[in-house]
Structure 1
């Protein structure tokens, strides 16, 4: 949206609503606080606020979810933890927490630990959706990591056999609840990843249970086993509201083991339909390819180069002669142009020599004239130059004194003399 114009209130509320709804941090969040302004509407919805020492947060607990609450009756002043997502009511520009479940303080510490771990693994990229792989379309071997005695294993095998009777099923039994569950689940998944078993897809999980019963699938070791699985893996843990963390680490998550089997193993009719469609498309593609090759072959056979190859060669000979003729003509023109340029340079050279000779004669004449006016030429005829101790040239007798030392410069050498007599006669 452009910053050059003001936006309307509705547009701003819409932007805020979209920002909140697209941010996963606001979709599944636990909020702790004290209940205030508690009210039950005739529709059965709970409306209240959560407050702490400085702030209030509006909350809505709709009737469809209030039925799952089994704790003490909610009332003002009760310390609780509410789990839900943040929404914006655009007409009033108010945001509130859409509550999914509520627990009294002291009962929900485990949720805080799970949320903390979820945030840490999310920041590390363990839950990055871009790394998730597609499931194989026609798996030959299905691997199952779950309890060998629960209803989950029976449902998975029943659905798998119904959809694809010839499917190979390899069960890696494990404990899915209790202290030993994390190590047991991890080992079962690692065993199914052994290449010797040639497993194409893995379903790992269990049937439904309480939040505490499902805690093994919120364990970091189990989560990393899903994340590191070489084979595409489906998280199949029965749950109602909360998603276990293995759902985020797996390539695909299913709400129940039965749903996971339906996702992993397509029905025979679906497979046959897929094979028939693939066969139809391949046949059509081959027909088109064959017709294309026939058309190309027909066009090639119609070419004169095949029906009369000698004519084709003759045409090439003629084209070659034309090219050679053009090359010779270009070569002659090139040489002619270069000769013309060379003759220009020769004329320039001749003119330059003439000019240089004239300049030399003028220089010799000027040099001779300069020689005649040279002081050295005058000295060579018996004249001399007289200078005092300051190197000033003496031009008249009144410029010197008796006893003063003077320098006489001759054509060759110089003399030092003392003035003994001065005559002012011309």
Structure 2
């Protein structure tokens, strides 16, 4: 181990260095090289955003698929000659890289030992694996789907800035419902920023109480530009968690991103989304007119039925000649009255005869009848005389005859014996 000219020993650990006893630069570089060379080769995935060949060496830059981060790499000529011809700018690749530290210049270089393009088949297979995993979690269950509002108060739209998809959605919505309002958020529709920017816009719109539905719209494009960014797991879980209904309008018919499965409604194109989220004002007016016509016809039919029923009721005898009921009852009353009178007269006649008989019997037993035959009633001291022995000569007598009274004086008294 080398020492300073003063003869002081170098520190063994970097933490032991001081301004008075530092390491030589070569010691640090050697240590870094030894440390870095212990790192195992690593497979990484990214997108090539730069690719140039100089003196047989391939100088490239890899960009992360999810975040804004890049890394320069180099494939020396021996490796560069074996690379697939499809590896060029824009390609999605996996690379076996190992860091290398060049001590003379202090430069860290990521050496590519192998690089392979990621085929679209493999990418779609990854999407399908994610789709199945999320389906097993229940994120796509029908009961989780939120119904779209019949007429949204305000439409949240997430799309690219000044994109055809934005114009298609707005134009077709306003053609159908001119009073519709939009809350537009612009976000990246391709590249590594899609998931983060769309998710941020999604959360912002979901927190706005005036927004009743959110549309994520993008026009057509290459498969890897449409399917992959909108199948990002973080974005899918964000869509699943918001309270506002989400419409997926990613214009790609051949395959569909996972966003279509988790969204509350999947529209095949941005135009189809516009036709889904708002009703057609002209059709609604026509529908209202049709309903009004059918209501008027129904009311008219009801009136006609009721009028017919009233006419039938009026044609019945009881209503056509209501006096018939009174006339019939009048005749019955007359008959009953006649019977009552006849019965009463008969009873009265029988009663009269009976009274006459009783009167005759009473009259026959009356003292007046006896008097009328010439007999008289003699009273003495207000008592009727039945025996002459009750009177003495000279007594005053009161004699009642058939017509009047007499007063007499007894001049003689003769008693007789009754047999």
Q: Report if TM-score (shorter chain) is over 0.5.
A: no
Compare CA radii of gyration and give the structure with the larger one.
2
